[in-house]
Structure 1
Amino acid sequence: MTNIVTFRPAPRVDRTQNAAQLLAGLAQGRRTADDVFWLKENAEALNAINASGVALPPEALGVYAEFYDGIEEKVRFYPQYYRFFLSLCLDLEDLGMSGNKGRGLCRWAAAAGLADAELSDLQRAEARLLLARRNAADAPGEGALGDRLRQFMRRGDTFALPNRKAAYELTHIVFYLTDFGRNQIALGEEEVTSLEYTGVIAFLDQNYDLLAEVCLALSYIGQTPSPIWTQAVATAHGHIVPCIGEGAVTAKDAYHTYLVTGWMQATLSNSGFEADVPAGKLHFAAHGQAPSALRPLSECLADLGVLRSGDWDGMRGRVIPYLGAQSRNILQQAEASTDKFDRFFRGFARASGTFETRTG
């Protein structure tokens, strides 16, 4: 007697429809359009979809038609948010929205000197990139601004220590200098090393949001991110579920991590955004988050006191036994993810240097 076994094919993933549902949920259900976080989240999503090349059905941008129709009045009344408005407008047009308002808005923003009100070089770089997309400013990598950005990137010691602000500034500088991978730029070994150190910190911390940004930044400058990192990001993306209901919609949900981990996958492997996105009030629930190994490792080094050194070969036998099983596994994967781990550890250990104390 013959047993006939029927294999059911895996359901087809419709990433195009998922991306459209994501935009619909962000535009119409998650927050109200008068909330500045509506501007932020929708600008991020459109930018990620535009930069990664994820396809959209023709009708997907219809949820932004009313916003686009009134964008000139909005940006004039809220000029302090001009970068959000410009980003939204330019990406909508680049993705296929009918209209050419971006050119006029960029010229208006340039004539009004809005970028001159920015205090930080990072914000000035973003402003310059947006204006340059419609030929209203020089590219952000040119002139004194570009020199300062590269000087910041070359200081690897900054990125061998936990510093989230500096880490995200580093990845965003690469995003702006390369126009999210559209432009080729020449960066040296020092800048690449800074990105790799940032990736090690992110992996130790199990911060997949930052790790995905590091992998994207490396790919934008022609480098291949560690497969240990990209696999961790892919796994994390698969553990984030778009949900509907009355779950809290706050900065603490996993929206941004879902977006950038999917963005990385779409860019590097033409995958990501494979979970169905339901219609309704969206929030993003993360499951299976591993605990950080960064704090246990730092505590170990602090406890060692005068026995601490920056020599990883010498310290490995002291550090590994100190850690619990999960932290030990994460540390060993981090070590295997880069050929610069020993150099990274010299800075991370903070074992060199003395302070001069003056009295009298």
Structure 2
Amino acid sequence: MSNVIPLKAPGSQVSIDQQCTALIGNFSQHRRVQGDVFWLKENAELLNILECTGMSLSESQMLPMISFYNRIEDQICFFQQYYRFILSICLDLEDLGLAGGKGEDIANWVAREGLAEAELSDLQRAEAHRLMQRRGINGVVDSTALEQRLRKFIGRSGTFALPNRKAAYELTHIVFYLSEYGRVDPELDQNALLSLEYAGLLAYLDQNSDLLAEVCIALHYAGQQPPVVWMTWIARQTAGFVIADGNSGQRSDAYHDYFVCNWLMAATRRPYFTQQVPRGPMQVRQSATQTGSLRQMSQMLFELHNHRSADWPLMRQHLQSELSQEAHDILTAAESSTDNFESFFAGFARVGVKLD
């Protein structure tokens, strides 16, 4: 059985600098084989969060990453399929304080090779464009048309009233790129803001703190105040992460949830990464998980067939009377979190949708 590391008392909490040092050491040295795709993904995510929340690190804090940085040209030339991860790591290390100027040369190489144009996905093309733009390089043929397509996608609010995690994560990432991770106003219109609200409602109903945290970050970057109900719940989830000894051999854990919840806390000037991080292998666990009401609601609506209604006041009584108490409480909190629950439910109910 793995050992759970207890939280320190408030008076003896380590500094955020110490926490970041431990996180970088842990994720770069103790979880994956350095350079494999999962290692690239996890370290790119961690460094991106530290960079976009304004951290400044010493070279000694980034020491575990220096060997990778020193041979990063060989890495990206051979593993071109992972160029976005590798370029992101390079840029973030430099922007966090690592001496070196490889980022501009590598971004220029990516542009010359046309790697962004080899992407089928507009989302991945937008990510590549944003990375190269960090060094003033345009690697996309028609970035204006690309942005128009992205805005058209996020402006179709009905898409996000239906359970579709892939679309919801694409929505949040588009806002991250348009806002340059909080550096500029993404200038979202009301439809796009409504899309975020609908995606957040579904995430809350599903008790998916990973997705809901991303939605709240996107709202924050768009200059909006995320609903208090959502933020309060995510703060509880963030405080409840448990850092455990990672020697159990378990590979899958709640690291991404841990990352984005703490990212939200940092972005909104709340305490973040408060659980002590060991200098060695670790696993991240959620101390308490709760089954949401989304699946029960969907099944109940599906079984109503032609008796289903898009009228939320009419359907509220039927749904709430059949849900478990836990699911009922979640639904009630979700409804109270926004003024747009009725319009969300009208799309979620899918009334009158049929093949001609």
Amino acid at match of 2:326: Q
Shift of 1:34: 3.3
Q: Which amino acid aligns with 1:130?
A: L
What are the equivalent positions in structure 2 for 1:142-161 lying under 5 Å apart? Answer: 142-161=143-162
* Equivalent position of 1:236 in the other structure: 237
Q: Deviations over 1:49-103 (max 9, x none)?
A: 1111245455211111111111011111111111011000000000000101000
Mean Cα deviation higher: 57-66 or 97-106: 57-66
Partner of 1:274: 274
1:112-167 residue CA offsets vs partner (Å, 9 max, x unmatched)? 11111100000000000001100111799941000000000011111001001100
Q: Tell me what 1:180 maps to.
A: 181
CA deviations over 1:6-29 (Å, ceiling 9, x no partner): xx9733442221121111100111
Q: Specify the alignment match of 1:45 in structure 2.
A: 46
Q: Distance in 1 between matches of 2:186 and 2:308?
A: 39
Q: Which moved more, 1:153-162 or 1:228-237?
A: 228-237
Residues 141 and 217 (structure 1 numbering): CA distance in 2 closer, same or farther, change over 3 Å? farther
CA contact (8 A) 2:55 2:96 kept: no
Structure 2 residues not aligned, in runs of 5+: 1-8
SS at match of 2:62: helix
Aligned to 1:345: 345
- Structure 1 residue 175 displacement after superposition: 0.6
- What's the CA shift for 1:354? 3.4
Question: 1:292 corresponds to which residue?
Answer: 292
SS of 1:10's partner is helix
Q: How many residues align?
A: 348
Higher mean Cα deviation, 87-96 or 136-145? 136-145
TM normalised by structure 1 equals: 0.93
Does the aligned pair in 1 maintain the 2:116–2:139 contact within 8 Å? no
- Equivalent position amino acid for 2:165 in 1: R
Instruction: Give the Cα–Cα distance (whole angstroms) in 1 for the partners of residues 264 and 137 of structure 2.
Output: 29
**Matches for 1:73-112 after TM superposition, within 5 Å:** 73-112=74-113
Q: Which moved more, 1:344-353 or 1:203-212?
A: 344-353
The SS at the match of 2:327 is helix
User: In structure 2, how many angstroms separate the alpha carbons of the residues matched to 1:70 and 1:57?
Assistant: 20
Using the alignment, how far apart are the partners of 1:262 and 1:9 within structure 2?
A: 18
Q: Is the 8 A contact 1:312 1:346 kept in 2?
A: yes
**Structure 1 residue 249: deviation in Å?**
4.0
User: Which amino acid is 1:330 matched to?
Assistant: I
Q: Give, in angstroms, the shift of residue 281 of structure 1.
A: 1.4
What is the CA–CA distance in structure 2 between the aligned matches of 1:141 and 1:108, rounded to whole Å? 18
Q: Distance in 2 between matches of 1:106 and 1:138?
A: 8
Q: How does 1:120-139 map to 2 (within 5 A)?
A: 120-137=121-138
- Report the RMSD for the aligned CA atoms in angstroms: 1.7
Check 1:88–1:329 CA distance in 2 against 1; reply closer, same or farther (3 A cut): same
Q: Flag structure 1 segments of 5+ consecutive residues without an equivalent.
A: 1-7
The Cα of 1:275 is off from its aligned counterpart by 0.3
Asked which structure has the greater RCO (Cα within 8 Å, sep 6+), the reply is 2
Alpha-carbon distance, 1:247 to partner: 2.9
CA contact (8 A) 2:114 2:139 kept: no
Shift of 1:241: 1.6
Counterparts in 2 of 1:209-228, with a 5 A limit?
209-228=210-229
Which protein shows a greater Rg?
1
Asked if the contact 2:56/2:97 (under 8 Å) is kept, the reply is no
**2-structure distance, mates of 1:290, 1:141:** 45
The residue number in structure 2 matching 1:335 is 335
Q: Percent identity?
A: 45
The answer to whether the aligner puts 1:199 opposite 2:200 as a matched pair is yes
Query: What is the rounded CA distance, in whole Å, between the counterparts of 1:281 and 1:60 in structure 2?
Result: 17
2:213·2:260 contact (CA, 8 Å) conserved in 1? Answer: yes
CA contact 2:58–2:98 (8 Å) conserved in 1: no
Structure 2 distance, partners of 1:183, 1:103, is: 22
Could you give the per-residue CA deviations for residues 201-241 of structure 1, whole angstroms, max 9, x where no partner exists?
Answer: 00001110000000000010111101111111111112212
Is 1:20–1:57's contact at 8 Å kept on the other side of the alignment?
A: no
CA distance in 2, matches of 1:39, 1:32: 10
What SS does structure 1 have at the residue aligned with 2:285? Answer: strand
Q: Is this contact kept in 2: 1:54–1:266, CA < 8 A?
A: no
